[in-house]
Chain A
Amino acid sequence: MGAAVQKSTLEARLEGLSTTGFAPAARKDALARLVAMGLPGRRDEYWRWTNPADFIAATPVPAQAFDDSDEAPVFEATDRVKLVFVDGVFDADASDDLALAGVEITRLAEAPDLNWASGLYGTLEVAGQTPVARPLAALNTAAATDGLLIRATAKAEKPINLIYIHRSEVSDPILHHVIRLEEGAELTILENGPAGARFNKVMEVDVAKGARFHHVRVQGRDHERRAATAIFARVAEEALFKSFTLTVNGVLTRNECVIDMVGDDAVAHVAGAALGDGASDAFLHDDTVFVTHGAERGESRQVFKKVLKHGAVGTFQGKILVKPGAQKTDGYQISQSLLLDDDSQFLAKPELEIYADDVKCSHGSTTGAIDETALFYLRSRGVPMEEARGLLVLSFLADAIDEIEDEGLRDDIVGRLEAWLNRHRD
């Protein structure tokens, strides 16, 4: 156009972002990775069903903050350390002290040389770039503005809750957390909130021998939210990694989870429940999971459920890779959708790649409607139509929700699901 030189998409996306500050070397490397792989495009196989245009655009699509004050704050019933980011900026006043027995918490922006995390920042993300490129994660490592370094050396007495508040219509936060659980430690991370008009978030989680990591996330009710998130986890011997995400609404959500099971007898479960009603706004939810078994007797589970109506779209790409020598692997993957009408759509690509001979792996994917027989059975017992449908939706989601170990957290999630169903009756 005119005489001006057309900027490349990547240059445009990077404009105004800082790739200096903390961890300069790691960020420089990440930038080089990003330049080499380029931003994702519609033609990339890995983005076949989810158009990345809004994630790679120079500026976010403006999005109004959503008022969800008609509901109790997420995780309110749980005693926890609250750490608040507003449009991606840490809000010390709204946050609790960065103090929890057995846990070190530092802001990335205040740790130029990253302390204990200096050898870790970006390394799990790099490992997760093979065999599939994840440019948005490299972009994150290169250009994150803040995040938390969280290191647990013992069993934390309460969860840490990362709360991402969205106020500005054009906020575009990039946050990067590095979490390490030392041998035998135990920690629960809770996350909720839309964070901004567009959110790019990476969480690197390193779980050492015998440690136990729990993650429960609520991607809230904002209709206009656009979020690309990635978790990169390394799970050592006898360690446990468990992650559950509830997503309700959101124009565009891509949640990637890359898990590397490097030690024998490791356990990794990742689950998600997503509910979308295209009547209020567009809804596209994408779960992309890659689990690598690199050691013996590992147990992995992927349980993803989606409830879709009025043109909502759900996608799932999930892979289990069993490396040579990872004998006695027990890998399981299920992705299911419940379509509440004929307009909605679920696309799934389950994959297994196995290079060991003594393993047990299974995967399945289903798309279905409400079971009319069960619906009649409930109604014949006096349960009104909408309540009966709600019960059946909850029953459909039960396997995913059951992946949350803590009963209080589970009840919180179920309460939110019920509230959503009540708001979205036909």
Chain B
Amino acid sequence: MLEIKNLHVKLEEEDKVILKGVNLTVETGKVHAIMGPNGSGKSTLSYVLSGRDGYEVTDGSALLEGEELLEMEPEERAAAGLFLAFQYPVEIPGVGNMTFLRTALNAQRKARGQDELSAGEFLKVVREKAKTLKIDADMLKRPVNVGFSGGEKKRNEILQMAMLEPKMCILDETDSGLDVDAMRLVADGVNALRDAGRSFLVITHYQRLLDHIKPDVVHIMADGRIIQTGGPELALEVEQNGYADILKAHGLTEAV
């Protein structure tokens, strides 16, 4: 599904190199998790994959189902099936959440040569999906993420994902800021979307989320690289011992 090879990224405005050769392959239908210390480049990786400005790819490639993502506009990547649940979802005053969802969904359908959904059909689907995520009518009406609590914003990201039905879902710390019940809601939302044709890349600091969303593969990212890859047990190890040993084994100190 997603094949990242030797990805090197620096900031456009500064000489700061953030990703120093990321290699990562997510197979179709699989759930991969990425853990790693603060500042190791996890969010940067997710932004670069989805096409945010401000980064310069100096080397490497990222293929989504064989197509080069890095040459596409952000909206083309979305239409190709990529979705990023933001670590910090963006507030857009003045744009209703419903309008936002409908515009996005119809834009993607159009890009894929499908008919736009009628207002009625759309409402039906959105209400149903919102209900399972405990997003009430009021939240749907309000401007996108404005005045939403941290947890509400994260649930709103999952609602967007459920509506857009992407093939490759990247979740950047979707668990942070969630209470125990909300975490279960979000995990259920993700699990409901798991199927043989859809892949996930779950960025998280905590084993807790991975109790609910069971990963097939766990990666450790540090200093702009994937330094270790393993099964679900790797997350448990991090949870118990922290990163010190793993970092040391790769010649890195904790203060990278």
Interface string of B3-45 (1 = CB under 8 A from A): 0000000000000000000000000000000000000000000
A103 CA to B51 CA, complexed, in Å: 59
Interface window among A7-15, A180-188, A268-276, A369-377 = A369-377
* Cα–Cα, bound, A397→B92 (Å): 13
* B54 nearest CB neighbor, chain A only: A372
Known interface pairs A380-B52, A383-B103, A383-B104; 16 further A-B residue pairs with C-beta atoms within 8 A, sorted by A's residue number: A374-B90, A376-B51, A376-B53, A376-B90, A378-B92, A378-B100, A379-B74, A379-B75, A380-B74, A380-B84, A381-B78, A382-B104, A391-B100, A395-B95, A395-B143, A399-B94
CB contact list, A366-410 vs B, under 8 A: 371-374, 376-385, 387-388, 391-392, 394-399
**Is there contact, CB below 8 Å, between B95 and A383?**
no
Please measure, in the bound complex, the distance between the C-alpha atom of A385 and the C-alpha atom of B103, giving whole angstroms: 12
Number of B residues, CB within 8 Å of A? 31
Bound form: Cα–Cα A388–B200 in Å: 26
Chain A residue nearest to B88 (CB atoms) is A373
Alpha-carbon distance A331/B93, docked complex (angstroms): 23
Q: Which residues of B contact A378 (CB under 8 A)?
A: 92, 100, 103-104
Residues of B within 8 A of A372 (CB): 53
Query: Which residue of chain B lies nearest to A379 when distances are taken between CB atoms in the complex?
Result: B74
Q: Which one of B95, B108, B164 has the greatest number of beta carbons of chain A within 10 Å? A: B95
Nearest-Cβ distance from residue A400 to partner chain B, whole angstroms: 10
Contact status A381-B93, CB under 8 Å: no
B79 within 8 A of A: yes
Which residues from 73 to 93 on chain B have a C-beta closer than 8 Å to any C-beta of chain A? 73-75, 77-79, 83-84, 86, 89-93
Q: What residues make up the interface of B, taking CB atoms closer than 8 Å to A? A: 50-53, 73-75, 77-79, 83-84, 86, 89-95, 99-100, 103-105, 107-108, 111, 143, 160, 164
With known contacts A376-B52, A377-B86, A387-B107, A382–B95 Cβ distance under 8 A: no
Q: Using Cβ atoms and an 8 Å threshold, which residues of chain A touch B108?
A: 381-382
Interface pair B92/A387, CB less than 8 Å apart: no
A378 CA / B145 CA spacing, docked (Å):
13
CB-based contact B78/A379 at 8 Å: yes
Complex Cα gap A384–B100 (Å): 13
Closest to B166 in A: A382
With A376-B53, A382-B164 known as contacts, the answer to whether A395 contacts B111 (CB < 8 A) is: no
Q: How large is the interface on A (under 10, 10 to 19, 20 to 34, 35 or more residues)?
A: 20 to 34
Instruction: Provide the bound-state CA to CA distance between A19 and B53, in Å.
Output: 63
A374–B95 alpha-carbon span in the complex (Å):
11
By a CB distance below 8 angstroms, the chain A residues around B51 are 376, 379-380
Residues of chain B with a CB closer than 8 A to A395's CB = 92-95, 143
Using Cβ atoms and an 8 Å threshold, which residues of chain B touch A387?
103, 107
| Closest beta carbon of chain A to B81's beta carbon, Å | 10
A381 touching B90, Cβ below 8 Å? no
User: Closest Cβ of chain B: how far from A295's Cβ, in Å?
Assistant: 33
Q: Could you list which residues of chain A lie within 8 angstroms of chain B, going by C-beta atoms?
A: 371-374, 376-385, 387-388, 391-392, 394-399
Which residues does chain A contribute within 8 Å of B86, judged by CB atoms?
377
Contact yes or no, B94 A380, CB < 8 A: no
Q: Contact between B103 and A396 (Cβ–Cβ < 8 Å)?
A: no
In the bound complex, do residue A384 and residue B107 qualify as a contact, i.e. CB atoms below 8 Å apart? Answer: yes
On whether the beta carbons of A373 and B75 are closer than 8 Å, the reply is no
- 17 A–B contacts, CB within 8 A, in A order: A371-B92, A374-B91, A376-B74, A376-B90, A377-B89, A380-B52, A380-B83, A381-B160, A381-B164, A382-B79, A383-B75, A387-B107, A388-B75, A391-B99, A395-B94, A396-B94, A398-B94
Given contacts A376-B53, A381-B104, A383-B104, contact A398 B93 (CB under 8 A): yes
Most B CB within 10 A of own CB, among A371, A382, A388, A394: A382
A373 touches B90 (CB 8 A): yes
**With A and B bound together, what is the CA distance between A387 and B90 in angstroms?**
17
The answer to whether B78 touches A380, judged by C-beta atoms less than 8 angstroms apart, is yes
A374-B92 contact given A382-B107, A382-B108, CB 8 Å threshold: yes
CB contacts (< 8 Å) of B50 on chain A: these are 380
3 residue pairs, one from A and one from B, having the closest CB atoms: A395-B94, A398-B94, A382-B78
State whether A382 and B111 are in contact (beta carbons under 8 Å apart), knowing that A374-B90, A376-B74, A377-B90 are contacts in the complex.
yes
Q: Which residues of B contact A373 (CB under 8 A)?
A: 90
Q: Tell me how far the C-beta of A342 lies from the nearest C-beta in chain B, rounded to whole angstroms.
A: 17
Which B residues lie within 8 Å of A392 (CB)?
Answer: 92, 95
Q: Is the CB of A391 within 8 A of B95?
A: yes
Give the most central of B73, B90, B160: most A CB within 10 Å: B90
Nearest B residue (CB) for A373:
B90
Bound-state CA distance A396–B92 (Å) is: 9
Q: What is the CB-to-nearest-CB distance from B67 to chain A, in angstroms, rounded to a whole number? A: 16
Which among A371, A372, A381, A384 has the greatest number of chain B C-beta atoms within 10 A? Answer: A381
Q: Which residue of A lies closest to B91 (CB)?
A: A374
Residues from chain B with a CB closer than 8 A to the CB of A374 are 90-92
Which single residue of chain B is at the shortest CB-CB distance from A402? B94
Contact, CB under 8 Å: A383 / B107: yes
Q: With contacts A374-B90, A394-B95, A398-B94 known, is A379 near B103, CB below 8 A?
A: no
Contacts of B84 in A (CB 8 A): 380
Tell me, in angstroms, the Cα distance from A372 to B53 when the chains sit together. Answer: 9
Q: A380-B74, A382-B108, A385-B75 are contacts. A391–B103 as well, Cβ < 8 Å?
A: yes
On chain B, the residues within 8 Å of A398 by CB distance are: 93-95
